[in-house]
């Protein structure tokens, strides 16, 4: 028997109907053994270091099984994280190793199916990057293991959809779906977030003219306003605060007098309507996400779809985790860019497990500046 210590966990109290609130979650303190019990084979005991806070968490908080399996009430909720192995009864993992992958939003996790964990491969880069720019995907077979064993959910595994990690999501959407060409015009919404900041930088590296929108003027941990960050840190050609615009159509005309070739869609709703009016012939729209629609009970309709026909626009939704085979190609591109400081990645790091509920809620009011991460413990 090992030492027993307390373990703070983030619990879902009730299913979310529209707006997620901090009171939908609570913090519970339970106990955990710091040693894997004999007979518990192929398990790893993790000390969670960095937790990834992603919009997909909200989709699991809703009891809408047609989309993703809901979290189990009164149980720790799951997500991605970077962790240290404290004990292992699995041959592939050793005590002291650093891993990343699916874990629970708690201080310590006993993972009974570590096929859902991957070793940290490049220790020269910040560990927290494995929640964002460097994270990869779980292949379908791995996801089945995760859901059937780890999180104790009774679900139909064939209906599982897990949204992927930001770096690969940006890469797949921009390069595979938008096929950018030098000199083309690119618009990115939610541009200062985990995915948007990378799309903008990839587009600049590809020789495009890039405009991003973001929605807050408040100072943040990085002490820069979001719009300034887009222009001065990520190198966007132009940026605007969509919350200050009365007319999105007029705003887009201002920045794209000759129209938009590529739209990287993160938000949906009224912004998509305005974008369609401003697209050029043979434009491409990569539908990565529609965050403006996640937090409302009744989805908004979209006008202007006629332009998809008349302008021959290619508009396609995708799930980045279905493009797992591209991960090595992505790493080959992105790791040198990070090391040569040709690309930058801004994280919004909140301190302590107690900050998880606020960080989740903050994603839907744009409180985060960059990739939202919670540091539970430093190595």
Contacts of 246 (CB under 8 A, 6+ apart): none
Stretch that binds ligand NAP, among 36-44, 77-85, 190-198, 299-307 (CB under 6 A): 190-198
The distance of closest approach from Cβ of residue 135 to ligand NAP in the complex, given in angstroms and rounded to an integer, is 10
The distance of closest approach from Cβ of residue 41 to ligand NAP in the complex, given in angstroms and rounded to an integer, is 33
The interface with ligand NAP within residues 156-175 (CB under 6 A) comprises 163-164, 166, 169
**Does 194 participate in binding ligand NAP (rule CB under 6 A)?**
yes
- The tokens describing 110, both together, are 């006993």
Nearer to ligand NAP, 55 or 81 (CB): 55
**Distance (Å, whole) CA 237 – CA 255:** 10
**Does 368 participate in binding ligand NAP (rule CB under 6 A)?**
yes
Helix (H, G, I), strand (E, B) or coil at 257: coil
Contacts of 195 (CB under 8 A, 6+ apart): 166, 169, 170, 173, 266, 288, 289
Question: Which of 55, 79, 114, 167: binder of ligand NAP (CB under 6 A)?
Answer: 55
- The tokens describing 27, both together, are 């913090």
**Does 52 participate in binding ligand NAP (rule CB under 6 A)?**
no
The distance of closest approach from Cβ of residue 379 to ligand NAP in the complex, given in angstroms and rounded to an integer, is 24
Burial 13-34 (b: 16+ CB within 10 A, else e): eeebeeebeeebbeeeeeebbe
Nearer to ligand NAP, 164 or 283 (CB): 164
Nearer to ligand NAP, 7 or 278 (CB): 278
The interface with ligand NAP within residues 263-282 (CB under 6 A) comprises 266-267
Nearer to ligand NAP, 119 or 243 (CB): 243
Nearer to ligand NAP, 318 or 324 (CB): 318
Nearer to ligand NAP, 95 or 365 (CB): 365
**Does 15 participate in binding ligand NAP (rule CB under 6 A)?**
no
Task: Check if the beta carbon of residue 3 is closer than 8 Å to that of residue 88.
Answer: no
**Does 136 participate in binding ligand NAP (rule CB under 6 A)?**
no
C-alpha dihedral (169, 170, 176, 180), degrees to nearest 10:
170
Angle between helix 248-255 and helix 270-278 axes, rounded to 10 deg: 40
Question: Which of 76, 167, 180, 193: binder of ligand NAP (CB under 6 A)?
Answer: 193
**Does 215 participate in binding ligand NAP (rule CB under 6 A)?**
yes
First to last CA, the chain: 24
Contacts of 201 (CB under 8 A, 6+ apart): 234, 235, 343, 344
The distance of closest approach from Cβ of residue 201 to ligand NAP in the complex, given in angstroms and rounded to an integer, is 13
**Does 85 participate in binding ligand NAP (rule CB under 6 A)?**
no
**Distance (Å, whole) CA 107 – CA 72:** 18
The interface with ligand NAP within residues 224-263 (CB under 6 A) comprises 226
**Distance (Å, whole) CA 130 – CA 259:** 36
The distance of closest approach from Cβ of residue 170 to ligand NAP in the complex, given in angstroms and rounded to an integer, is 8
Q: Which residue, among 267, 233, 231, has the nearest Cα to 248 in the 3D structure? A: 267
- DSSP string of 304-315, one letter each residue: -THHHHHTT-EE
- The tokens describing 303, both together, are 């006008």
The distance of closest approach from Cβ of residue 346 to ligand NAP in the complex, given in angstroms and rounded to an integer, is 10
Q: Which residue, among 269, 355, 364, has the nearest Cα to 16 in the 3D structure? A: 364
Task: Check if the beta carbon of residue 58 is closer than 8 Å to that of residue 295.
Answer: yes
Stretch that binds ligand NAP, among 16-24, 146-154, 194-202, 329-337 (CB under 6 A): 194-202
x/- binding map, residues 280-309, to ligand NAP, per CB under 6 A?
--------xxxxx-----------------
**Does 112 participate in binding ligand NAP (rule CB under 6 A)?**
no
* Chain centroid offset of residue 41 CA: 32
**Distance (Å, whole) CA 25 – CA 253:** 42
Residues that bind ligand NAP (CB under 6 A): 54-55, 163-164, 166, 169, 190, 192-196, 214-216, 226, 266-267, 288-292, 318-320, 363-364, 366, 368, 371-372
């Amino acid at each position: 028997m090992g030492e027993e210590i307390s373990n703070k966990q983030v619990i879902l109290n009730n299913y979310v109907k529209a707006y997620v609130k901090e009171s939908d979650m609570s913090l519970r303190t339970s106990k955990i053994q710091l040693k894997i019990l004999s007979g518990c084979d192929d398990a790893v005991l993790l000390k969670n270091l960095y937790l990834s806070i992603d919009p997909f968490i909200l989709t699991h908080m809703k009891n809408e099984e047609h989309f993703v399996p809901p979290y189990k009430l009164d149980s720790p909720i799951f997500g991605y994280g970077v962790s240290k192995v404290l004990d292992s009864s699995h041959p592939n993992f050793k005590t002291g190793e650093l891993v990343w992958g699916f874990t629970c939003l708690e201080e310590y996790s006993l993972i009974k199916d570590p096929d859902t964990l991957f070793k940290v491969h490049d220790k020269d880069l910040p560990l927290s990057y494995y929640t964002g720019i460097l994270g990869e995907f779980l292949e379908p077979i791995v996801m089945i293991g995760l859901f059937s064993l780890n999180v104790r959910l009774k679900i139909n595994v064939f209906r599982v959809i897990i949204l992927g990690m930001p770096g690969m999501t940006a890469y797949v959407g921009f390069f595979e779906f938008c096929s950018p060409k030098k000199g083309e015009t690119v618009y990115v919404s939610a541009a200062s977030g985990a995915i948007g900041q990378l799309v903008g930088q990839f587009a600049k590296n590809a020789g495009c003219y890039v405009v991003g929108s973001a929605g807050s003027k408040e100072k943040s941990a990085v002490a820069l306003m979001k719009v300034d960050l887009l222009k001065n840190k990520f190198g966007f050609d132009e940026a605007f605060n969509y919350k200050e615009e009365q007319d999105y159509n007029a705003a887009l005309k201002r920045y794209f007098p000759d129209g938009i070739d590529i739209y990287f869609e993160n938000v949906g709703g009224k912004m998509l309507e305005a974008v369609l009016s401003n697209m050029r012939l043979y434009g491409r729209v990569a539908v990565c996400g529609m965050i403006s629609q996640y937090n409302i009970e009744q989805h908004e309709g979209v006008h202007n779809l006629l332009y998809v026909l008349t302008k021959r626009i290619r508009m396609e939704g995708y799930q980045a985790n279905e493009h797992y085979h591209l991960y090595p190609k992505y790493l080959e591109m992105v790791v040198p860019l990070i090391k040569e400081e040709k690309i930058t990645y801004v994280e919004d790091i909140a301190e302590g497990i107690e900050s998880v509920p606020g960080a989740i809620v903050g994603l839907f009011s744009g409180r985060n500046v960059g990739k939202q991460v919670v540091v539970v413990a430093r190595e």
